[in-house]
Structure 1
Amino acid sequence: MNISLPDRTSAAAPRHSGGRVSLLALGTFAVGTDAFVVAGFLPRMADELGVSEAAAGYSVTVFAICYAVFSPLLATATATVPRRRLLVAALVVLGLANVGTALAPTFAILMATRVLAALGAAAYTPNAGAVASSLVSVERRGRALALVVSGLTVATAIGVPLGNLASRIMGWRTALGLVALLCLLVGVGLAVRLPRLASGTRTPLATRLGVLRNLDVQAILPVTVLGMAAAYTAYAYAIPAFDAVGVSPDATQWMLFLYGVGAVAGAQSSGKLTDRFGGTRVLITGYAVMTCTLAAFGSLSLAGIALPGLVGILAFTWGASSWCQTPPQQHRLIAAAPDEAPLVIALNSSGIYIGIALGTFIGGLAGSGNATWIFYSGAVIAVLAAIFLISTSRATANDRKGIR
């Protein structure tokens, strides 16, 4: 998923491009909301379509797997497509896919529309970041990228809770219709506001993925998969999971909001902490917090104790420990392959979605018997992620020093 930046120099970048970058960020907000909004109305959707909650949760799994698989394929196939046309087309596909999901009469059709939605999302997100960085001067490029990526995090903070609220007021199908409308409106805005931008150069997929032969990259990427799997064992099943710790379905939106606030705080603070203490230390701390948080959730569920205040704190730390992972992992990958920075960051994004798919699948299996085990399974995976991180970080450090 190595995205070539459009051929613009900082001198040619428009002076007043903040509105365009914000519009691109609104698009990533729509993508993020679409990816995770199902968590806000899973039981209603499952009941109406006549499937179990675990099966309905697999719609998130399918979306995540398809996103991870199609991202590098689409990056190769669409390399020569002009960026404005590609971004608009991706949002149109995403919007139409959400219309299809909202109108789906059966679960099989709904799953097919989630595959289509993943195609649109996989084409949009990496290109939105590349285009944003080309619209500003070099010294503002980092801020532009941060703004676009923040759309995904903000979607976790407010998009999913708003989706939960909309589904309770108007129904889950209408909530998805609103997501579709947002995608289409942003697409229209980009068609009007974005300038003509050059396409990238076509590079064979095998060349793009050649960086996977780097032993350090091989050791780092599985940490992303394991960490996100731990974080997302319970997220798609948030309503039954929170119900197991004494939070009613109507109050779940507030817990999702606290999770989102924690996600924003974790993502923002971990970058600074990584610069100061290093990525490995930040990740180990994050996995320790995640393990304790998920184990505490499981213990509350097992004991049948309802402590809403404590659950709110745990929701915050769950979100913070889940989303503190990305900055240090990107930092570690760039250090391992500095000449392939765009590609390894893109591969890390694929790893994130593979982890989400794996975690959602495991959570569905664990939760089919008792919601308590959703939390405990996540805690176990977080421990495995920490163990793998510690063992491989020592090995890669020794390799760089020439020690075998």
Structure 2
Amino acid sequence: MLDVPVKRTFAPVAVLAAGAFAVGTDAFVVAGFLPQLAASLEVSETAAGQSVTAFAVAYAILSPVLATVTARLSRRELLAGALLLLALANLGSALAPTFAVLLVTRVVAAAGAAAFTPNAGAVAAALSRPEARGRALATVVGGLTVATAAGVPLGGLAGQWLGWRAALGLVAGACVVVAAAVYVILPALPGEPPVPLRVRLRVLRRPAVPAVLALTVLGMAATYTVYAYSAPAMRAVGVESTASMLFLYGLGAVLGNLAAGYATDRWGAGRVLMTGYVVMAASLAGLGWLAGSQDVPVVLVGLLATGWGAGTWCQTPPQQHRLIGVAPGEASLVVSLNASAIYVGIGAGTLAGGLTLAYGVAVTYAAGAALAVLALLLVAATRRV
């Protein structure tokens, strides 16, 4: 772990959370205007959803590679530069004339995100006292969850009012602003000694590490089976305003993430994860049961969407906490591996959602709920890790 003094951590951790907000808005915003993007680039909604898969797969591959390649760089310069790359990629996406070009720019965006998020988590953990590490990690992950609560719905509304290209342009502008704030506020932190990737990946030989990463993949796949196709999923339960339900999902994500940080420090990761997967499975199953029904109470849908978000985003702080506890000397690497696992799960879930959508939204919801149950069983088997 980075050797830095633990003091005056609020402002640096807050600006890292702001960076995570920008990254999260970029990563998830496509779900808010998927139909418009698909129509504009003349592809199906299922095909357009694969832009999320392309981002996720690229992120998963690049995250550990970039953690090695950029090890020597100052953390401040690395994090600010990653956000500037993300801004450039979003501008390219906004100007993309074809779907193929859009996919290329999404891969570039994934590189920026993969360089930022794991290092932000590792820096936040290094700046915090061990007994407050869960809360620091939750604060940074909170940037991602606030993005689902505010950034993504606002991006969706911007896509409806101004067009999806303008929405991505706004994301690019936000990345530039936060990059400047990161450079000004974050203390100068050294990089790490260069270690070959094959040596770094020896951490995977510790049984606890792949067990934790497998759970991350499964848990994120469960939620993204439905989330990437939020527009048709919400229409199936009688909600035309996808933005309002994404806001409630995001509100649940914020609350679940913050509660998970404190609960992990107090009661341990295992209990937090088991509770989260129960809530996620029940919420997705409930939405699937309502799909296609007449006169579905919008309040009930809202409550289930909130629970879905809370169950999803309470996973990351305890998972990161577990990994750092297993390999404290490789904090940046194991956090980057967990980030890769998150995006492997997102890619797999998006692919599963696209495959099941043809059989009806109720089947898509059921698939997500089933994956959440499998995650619950896996955490029960590995909770002592």
Same fold (TM over 0.5): yes
Q: Distance in 2 between matches of 1:75 and 1:387?
A: 31
Q: Distance in 1 between matches of 2:136 and 2:235?
A: 39
Deviation at residue 142 of structure 1 after TM alignment: 6.6
Q: What does residue 56 of structure 2 align with? A: 64
Q: What does residue 228 of structure 1 align with? A: 220
Pick closer, same or farther for the CA change 1:308–1:138 going to 2, 3 Å: closer
2:177 is aligned with 1:176? no
Task: Please tell me whether the aligned partners of residues 12 and 187 of structure 2 are also in contact (alpha carbons under 8 angstroms).
Answer: no
2:282 is aligned with 1:292? yes
| Equivalent position to 2:244, from 234, 254, 261 | 254
Deviations 1:49-70 (A, max 9, x none): 1111111111111111111211
Q: CA RMSD in A?
A: 2.5
2:76 is aligned with 1:79? no
Gaps of 5+ in 2: none
Q: What does residue 161 of structure 1 align with? A: 153
Deviation at residue 126 of structure 1 after TM alignment: 2.3
Deviation at residue 179 of structure 1 after TM alignment: 0.2
Q: Distance in 2 between matches of 1:237 and 1:357?
A: 13
Pick closer, same or farther for the CA change 1:216–1:131 going to 2, 3 Å: closer
Pick closer, same or farther for the CA change 1:258–1:85 going to 2, 3 Å: same
Deviation at residue 334 of structure 1 after TM alignment: 4.3
2:303 is aligned with 1:280? no
Deviations 1:234-258 (A, max 9, x none): 111111110110001xx22111111
Pick closer, same or farther for the CA change 1:129–1:380 going to 2, 3 Å: closer
Pick closer, same or farther for the CA change 1:390–1:24 going to 2, 3 Å: closer
Bigger drift between 345-354 and 359-368 goes to 345-354
Instruction: Return the index of the structure with the highest Cα Rg.
Output: 1
Q: What does residue 234 of structure 2 align with? A: 242
2:343 is aligned with 1:364? no
2:313 is aligned with 1:323? yes
Q: Distance in 2 between matches of 1:210 and 1:154?
A: 34
Q: What does residue 380 of structure 1 align with? A: 370
Q: Distance in 2 between matches of 1:291 and 1:135?
A: 35
| Equivalent position to 2:337, from 344, 347, 350 | 347
Deviations 1:90-126 (A, max 9, x none): 1111001001111111100000000000001111122
- Count how many residue pairs are aligned between Structure 1 and Structure 2: 385
Q: Distance in 2 between matches of 1:303 and 1:131?
A: 48
Letter in 2 for 1:220: V
Q: What does residue 19 of structure 2 align with? A: 27
Q: Distance in 2 between matches of 1:292 and 1:130?
A: 32
The list of structure 1 runs, each at least 4 consecutive aligned residues, that deviate by more than 6 angstroms after superposition, is 134-142
Deviation at residue 135 of structure 1 after TM alignment: 6.5
Deviation at residue 137 of structure 1 after TM alignment: 8.4
User: Map of 1:298-317 to 2, 5 A cutoff?
Assistant: 298-317=288-307
| Equivalent position to 2:209, from 195, 217, 220 | 217
Deviations 1:17-43 (A, max 9, x none): 754543332221100100000011011
Deviations 1:259-280 (A, max 9, x none): 1111111112223434555433
Letter in 2 for 1:380: A
Pick closer, same or farther for the CA change 1:178–1:291 going to 2, 3 Å: same
Deviation at residue 388 of structure 1 after TM alignment: 2.8
Q: Distance in 2 between matches of 1:274 and 1:181?
A: 35
Q: Distance in 1 between matches of 2:375 and 2:381?
A: 10
| Equivalent position to 1:187, from 163, 172, 179 | 179
| Equivalent position to 1:109, from 88, 101, 104 | 101
Q: What does residue 141 of structure 2 align with? A: 149
Q: What does residue 33 of structure 2 align with? A: 41
* TM-score computed with the length of structure 2 as normaliser: 0.91
Bigger drift between 17-26 and 62-71 goes to 17-26
Q: Distance in 2 between matches of 1:197 and 1:271?
A: 25
Letter in 2 for 1:40: G
Bigger drift between 280-289 and 109-118 goes to 280-289
Secondary structure class of the residue paired with 1:303: coil
Pick closer, same or farther for the CA change 1:120–1:334 going to 2, 3 Å: closer
Deviation at residue 199 of structure 1 after TM alignment: 2.6
Secondary structure class of the residue paired with 1:199: coil
Deviation at residue 138 of structure 1 after TM alignment: 8.5
* TM-score computed with the length of structure 1 as normaliser: 0.87
Q: What does residue 53 of structure 1 align with? A: 45
Deviation at residue 335 of structure 1 after TM alignment: 4.8
Pick closer, same or farther for the CA change 1:224–1:134 going to 2, 3 Å: closer
Task: Please tell me whether the aligned partners of residues 225 and 365 of structure 2 are also in contact (alpha carbons under 8 angstroms).
Answer: yes
Q: Distance in 2 between matches of 1:298 and 1:140?
A: 38
Gaps of 5+ in 1: none
Bigger drift between 321-330 and 34-43 goes to 321-330
Q: Distance in 2 between matches of 1:309 and 1:119?
A: 39
Task: Please tell me whether the aligned partners of residues 54 and 368 of structure 1 are also in contact (alpha carbons under 8 angstroms).
Answer: no
